[in-house]
Structure 1
Amino acid sequence: MEWPFGPYETVMGAILLMTIPLQRLLTRDEPEMRVPLSGLFAEIRDKGYKWHISIFVVMYGFKAFIDQHNEAIKPRVGGFTHYVHGMEGDLTLWVQETFRNAVLSDILSFHYLFVYLFLIWFSPMYYILCKDEVMADKAVLNYFIAYVLAVPLYLFFNVEVTSSFVPGMDALMYHRSWNLFFFTEADPLDNGFPSLHVGIPLGLLAINRLHVRDLGIEIREWRHREFDLFVAANVPIYLFSIQYLGIHWISDVVPGAILAIICALFAHSMQPKLRSLRENGLSSLLPAKRVAYTAVAFSLVGTLILLAAVVDGPGTDEDTPTMRVGPGDVNLDVIEVHSLWHPADVEISNVGDEAVEVLIIHRDAVEEHANGGVIDWISLSDGDVRLLEPGDSLDE
């Protein structure tokens, strides 16, 4: 019998089931510091955790809004994957070919999705269940600021996943019948820069070290040291899996690490001010006038530079490929429909030196043909396949 649930339902179910057991395991030496399940709602009310829940709800809607508009503005900003590939070459392909193994692919695919969502959810929940509202605040702020700062890059600096641009590289996680629907629904496949799978856990680790420095203790003496080790253990796994699975470029890690430092510094400095809002009011969050004016000025100048440099800029060069394939490669791209009244217009141009075959088909019809990171083109090619010779275009 086939598993009746998709990857998102499976992962979220596993996350909820593992939250309490893992928190109890990590706090086995201090049971007196645990919040009993019967007192969880009272703890949320008494410690003012309502805004933590609100942030998760807001970010869910925010991400959906961004994903909806990502493709809509892409024709005006184009893509910059060719610049990244020009610096790195095919190093990620070497990683995939050297270590490729079916079992490893299954494990890392599940880990990539599960642990990332688990850390986002479990980090604040762990601290809430440990009666540590300071660290719960910082964990939520880390997640919130990371996404807010990453959005401009996701929208205006589109970088395709490596499996869409490096000939011969397979999408070991995306091109699986079980995963395909979820990832094509939730991932635009061009939000590689920066890598938040690295940035968010690195941000948590940096926050932990800033926190223990203020406490005047070593990290090994901290009561949450085991959770810190759990987060740290997943970072090298992500550094490998994002290359191996055909997702991120090595260059995506650098801005992810920079983002982690910014998020950690912000969360560490802002948390005490948020906790003192009841006593000091909203005005305590406002910077001095000079600082505020400077920040606004830099924001406006930065926005104008971004718009001038990116919109209709070098990323929109029609002779530069945004996707590449090699002999026998099958790449999948999603056509998003943004209106119930107007159809989506599709334009595909072959700017390469070899002919390519193109098939526009409903996503659901592809699922059964995706297995082990590869889409079986032969089983699909009896559809309305178009042959594009070099220089040809297809308008639908």
Structure 2
Amino acid sequence: MYPLQSMTHATVYIVISIYFLLLVTLRTNPFNAAGAFVQEIFTRRKYLLHFVAVMAILFFNKIELWVESHMKYTADFTPKVYALEGNFVAAFQQFFQNDILTMVTSMFYVVIFPCLMIASILIYTYQKKHRLFYALCYTVMINYIVAIPFYLFFPVLEVWAFHPKVDLLITQAFPAFESEYRPLSGLDNCFPSLHTSISVSMAILAAHSGNRFWKWFSILSCSIIIFAIFYLGIHWVTDMFGGVILGTFAARVGIRISEERTVLGGLLVQPRRLKQQKVGD
């Protein structure tokens, strides 16, 4: 029996994983975190606008696939990447190939990856670490804004689709991967690897959270996901390096922007408070 029979199964696993991650990380009822998120959405306009912006950029990623399908641009940079890397991914996959490892890495690629983003939003919201929440929003947007032009104008096929000795192992755990997951990501949307960049970004933000468990879980998950992109036969080493650079850059810039906006907000609020005090006097 396949652990991931459809995206419906994957969604159920994602919800269950988020529940237990919140339970362990926050040591409280996970529904409290969900409630805090809903409260912030309806009471803080700034919070709502940032969340909507993230949803918009994720939707735009879907639009990118539609735009790409209607473009007459036919360049393919895969042969150049292969000439640079050779058979590394093929050798890597053959060396580690194991049925249990295939199941574990597939779960991290499909289930844990989105959990890192969703759980981070709920954790930072519940703990009222709004600066980290805003940093996460900026980070995700930067990742996609930088990556999408590469997907449009620097197309690189996934390794298994080009290399005859590399298999798409994820189909052994998720047979419907090509029909149900593929619409979320184009076959030639390889460089940079967003699975790598987003995972790296979430790990960097988690390192600033002050929560020991969430920090190390995010770092471990990031490491396994990077391993998985090679092992499952999806990404090239070049994609990984591009993802690491992008993810690090996006997280650093996201943190910097959130800090500057927080300072600016404080400077704007302080004069108002002083003015109110003078009026009260």
The 1-side partners of 2:231 and 2:33 are apart by 41
Are 1:161 and 1:192, in contact at CA under 8 Å, matched by a contact in 2? yes
Residues 95 and 191 from structure 1, CA distance in 2 versus in 1: closer, same or farther, beyond 3 angstroms? Answer: same
Q: How far has the Cα of 1:44 moved from its partner?
A: 3.4
Larger strand percent: 1
Q: Residue 237 and residue 37 in structure 1: after superposition, are their counterparts in 2 closer, same or farther (change >3 A)?
A: closer
Tell me if the contact between 2:89 and 2:233 (Cα under 8 Å) persists in the aligned partners.
Answer: yes
Write out aligned runs for 1:41-120 (5 A).
Answer: 41-47=38-44, 48-73=46-71, 75-120=72-117
> How far apart in 1 are the matches of 2:83 and 2:36?
56
| Structure 1 residue ranges, 4+ long, deviating more than 6 angstroms after superposition | none
Same amino acid, percent of matched pairs: 24
What's the counterpart of residue 153 of structure 2?
Answer: 156
Q: 1:261 aligns with which of 248, 268, 276?
A: 248
1:232 aligns with 2:230: no
Q: Take 1:197 and 1:172, find their aligned partners in 2: how far apart are those partners?
A: 17
1:146 maps to a residue whose letter is N
**Do the aligned partners of residues 103 and 69 (structure 1) sit closer, same or farther apart at CA in structure 2, a change above 3 Å counting?**
same
2:152 maps to a residue whose letter is L
Q: Which of 112, 115, 118 is equivalent to 1:121?
A: 118
Q: Shift of residue 153 of structure 1? A: 0.8
- C-alpha distance in structure 2 between counterparts of 1:2 and 1:260, whole Å: 32
Equivalent of 2:234 in 244, 247, 260: 247
User: Could you tell me which amino acid in structure 2 is paired with residue 17 of structure 1?
Assistant: I
Structure 1's 111 and 229: CA in aligned 2 closer, same or farther, altered over 3 A?
same
Distance 2:143 2:51 in 1: 17
Q: What secondary structure, in the 3-state scheme, does the structure 2 residue paired with 1:177 have?
A: coil
Q: Which amino acid aligns with 1:24?
A: L
**Is the contact made by 1:128 and 1:136 (CA closer than 8 Å) also made in structure 2?**
yes
Q: Distance in 2 between matches of 1:51 and 1:230?
A: 29
Matched-pair contact (CA < 8 Å) for 1:199–1:257: yes
Deviation digits for residues 150-189 of structure 1 (CA, Å, limit 9, x no counterpart)? 1111111111011011112111125753323113322211
Distance 1:167 1:137, change over 3 A: same
User: Any conservation in 2 of the 1:84–1:251 contact (CA below 8 Å)?
Assistant: yes
Asked if 2 retains the 8 angstrom alpha-carbon contact of 1:6 and 1:182, the reply is: no
Query: Could you say if the C-alpha distance between residues 204 and 2 of structure 1 is closer, same or farther in structure 2, counting changes exceeding 3 Å?
Result: closer
Q: Which residues of 2 match residues 272-311 of structure 1 at below 5 A?
A: 272-275=259-262, 276=264
1:112, CA displacement in angstroms?
0.6
Residue 182 (structure 2) aligns with: 184
Supply the distance in 2 between the matched residues of 1:40 and 1:154 (Cα, whole angstroms): 33
Whole-angstrom CA distance in 1 between matches of 2:213 and 2:167: 36
- Bigger Rg, structure 1 or 2: 1
In structure 2, the CA distance between the partners of 1:208 and 1:173, relative to structure 1 (3 Å rule), is closer
Give the TM-score normalised by the residue count of structure 1. Answer: 0.60
Q: How much has 1:12 moved relative to structure 2?
A: 2.4
Unaligned stretches of 5+ residues in structure 2: 270-281
Distance apart, 1:231 and its partner CA: 0.7
Alpha-carbon shift at residue 250 of structure 1 (Å): 0.8
Q: Which residue is equivalent to 1:14?
A: 13
Counterpart Cα distance in 1 of 2:154 and 2:36: 46
Assess if the C-alpha contact under 8 Å between 1:169 and 1:246 holds in 2. yes
Query: d(CA) in 2 for partners of 1:82 and 1:109?
Result: 27
User: What one-letter code is carried by the residue in structure 2 that aligns with 1:107?
Assistant: V
- The alignment yields a C-alpha RMSD, in angstroms, of 2.9
Higher relative contact order (CA 8 A, sep 6+): 2
Counterparts of 2:78 and 2:85, CA distance in 1: 11
Of Structure 1 and Structure 2, the greater helix share is in: 2
- Compared with structure 1, are the counterparts of its residues 144 and 6 closer, same or farther at alpha carbon in structure 2 (3 Å cutoff)? farther
The letter for the 1-side match of 2:243 is: G
Cα separation, 1, equivalents of 2:190 and 2:47: 32
Are 2:92 and 2:231, in contact at CA under 8 Å, matched by a contact in 1?
A: yes
**Is the 2:168–2:233 contact (alpha carbons within 8 Å) kept by the matching residues of 1?**
yes
Is 1:200 the counterpart of 2:187? The answer is no
Task: Tell me by how many angstroms 1:36 deviates.
Answer: 5.8
Deviations along 1:89-131, one digit per CA (max 9) or x if unpaired, are 0111111112222232222122211111111222112211222
User: Following TM superposition, by how much is the alpha carbon of 1:22 offset from its aligned partner in structure 2, in angstroms?
Assistant: 1.7
